Structure 1
C-alpha cells in the first residue's frame, strides 16, 4: 500500500472522532440511528466520540499515518465484559446503552437500541478479537486501506490462534471481509424498518 500504520494514542482522540464521523456519516446504519441529515450531522460525532473513548479504555485503535483510515479493535475474553455493560462502583450492573443514549441523543431510542441488538448477536464463550469499526475517508475508499489496516491484527490472530469477529454494514464491506477469511454466521441482524448487519466470524488461518 505504501501507507504506514501506527497505534493511535490519546492525543489522537479528536482526530479519530472526526475521521469516524466523516467515514460513517453516510453509512446505512448511521442513517438508521440518526434519521434526517441535519439531525445526523448534529449528533453523529458525539456517538463516534463515545465509541472512541470506550476503545481507548478497553481496546486499541490503529490509524493510517496519513489520516485516511482508522480501525477500532477490542480483545474479547472467553466471558466478555464488553462495552455494552459493566459493573459500577457499588457492584450494580450499569445500563451502558441507556447511558450512551442519555449522553449523545436522549430523545433517540435507536442510539440505545443498536447497542442492545448488536450485543444480543455477539458470539460468547470463546476469546476473539472484535473489529468494532473500521472507517476510511470517502475520497480514499477503494484503495485497499481497510485491508492494509486490518492485516497486522489478522496476522496476530493467525499466530496466536485467535478468531476474529465483526458486523458488516453493507454489501461492499461484506465482500471485502469474505476475501480476508471472514464467513457470514448465517443470521443477519435486520434493523427494524432499516438496513441489515451481517455478523461475520474468522477462524485463525495457518500459513
Structure 2
C-alpha cells in the first residue's frame, strides 16, 4: 500500500539523506530520455542513475543546503505491539519519499571543487569516450539558461510508490514560495514531454526547445515571480 499524503513536511536535506535522495531520484528518472541516452544498457541503467544522483546531490547540492526532501516514517516504526524477538531496539530511519535539488540565484551549487571531485566518477559512469559529448550537451543547457537572477530546479523526483500522494507538489510549492519571497523567477529543463502539463499547472511556460539529433530533446521552462 503506498504511503499517504501525511508524510512529514518539506525539510532541508542532510548528508545522511544522500543515499535516500539518490535512491528516489534514480527510481524516478531511470527510464527518462536523459538516462536512456547516458546509460543505454537496460541492465545497468537503474544502478548508474542512482549513482549519478548520489554524485550530483552529495557533491553539489546537499552540502550547500540546496536540496529538500519529504520523508515518511519507516514501515517498522508504524508496527503496533512489541518488536519481534532479536530485533534491534534502535528507532528505524525515516524513508525519503521525494527530493528536489536547487541552485540559488546568488551562485551555483557546483563549480571547480564539484568538477574535481565528480569528474572521475562521471567518467566511470558514462565512459571516457562519451564525456566530450556529455560536456557539449551540458554546455548547451548552460547557454540556454536565463541571465537574470533566478532559482534553478535541477532535479525533482518522487519515489514511484509515493506518486499521487502530493509529495512532488509539496516540494515544488516550497521552492516556488522561496523564489517568490526572493522576487525572482524559476527555471528548469525537462527531457520528458510528459512532464510539460504538470509544470504548466504551476505557471511554467516553455521558453525554448533544444532539438538536436545528438542529444535528448530538451524543454526549457520558466515561471515568473509571483511577488
What TM-score comes out, normalization by structure 1 length? 0.81
Q: Among residues 142, 151, 154, which one is paired with 1:132 in the alignment?
A: 154
How far does residue 204 in structure 1 lie from its aligned partner after superposition? 0.9
Deviations 1:62-83 (A, max 9, x none): 1111222111111033xx5563
Give structure 1 stretches of 5+ with no counterpart.
89-93
Q: Give the direction of change, closer, same or farther, for the CA distance of 1:155–1:197 in structure 2 (3 Å limit).
A: same
Check whether the contact 2:97–2:159 (CA below 8 A) recurs between aligned residues. yes
1:23 equivalenced with 2:52 (yes/no) = no
For these two proteins, the number of residue pairs brought into alignment is 196
Aligned mates of 1:28, 1:118 — CA distance in 2: 15
CA distance in 2, matches of 1:100, 1:165: 27
Cα displacement (A) at 1:200 = 0.8
Bigger radius of gyration: 2
Q: Which of 24, 49, 56 is the aligned partner of 2:54? A: 49
One of 171, 175, 193 as aligned partner of 1:153: 175
Higher strand share: 1
- Establish whether residue 199 from structure 1 lines up as the match of residue 203 from structure 2: no
- Structure 2 distance, partners of 1:140, 1:204, is 29
Q: 1:81 to 1:15 in 2, by over 3 A?
A: closer
Structure 2 CA distance for aligned equivalents of residues 7 and 82 of structure 1: 15
1:91 counterpart residue number: none
CA distance in 2, matches of 1:74, 1:63: 15
Bigger drift between 41-50 and 5-14 goes to 41-50
Instruction: Report the aligned-residue RMSD.
Output: 2.6
Q: Does 1:76 align with 2:105?
A: yes
Aligned partner of residue 23 in structure 2, secondary structure:
helix
Q: Mind listing any 5+ residue stretches in structure 2 that lack a counterpart?
A: 73-95
Matches within 5 A, 1:57-96: 57-66=63-72, 67-77=96-106, 80-81=107-108, 83=110, 85-86=111-112
Return the TM-score normalized by structure 2.
0.74
Shift of 1:145: 2.2
Deviation per CA, 1:3-48: give whole Å up to 9, x if none: 3222111111111111111111111211111112124234222211
1:115-194 matched pairs, under 5 angstroms:
115-124=138-147, 126-185=148-207, 187-193=208-214
- Partner SS for 1:188: strand
Q: Secondary structure at the match of 2:181?
A: helix
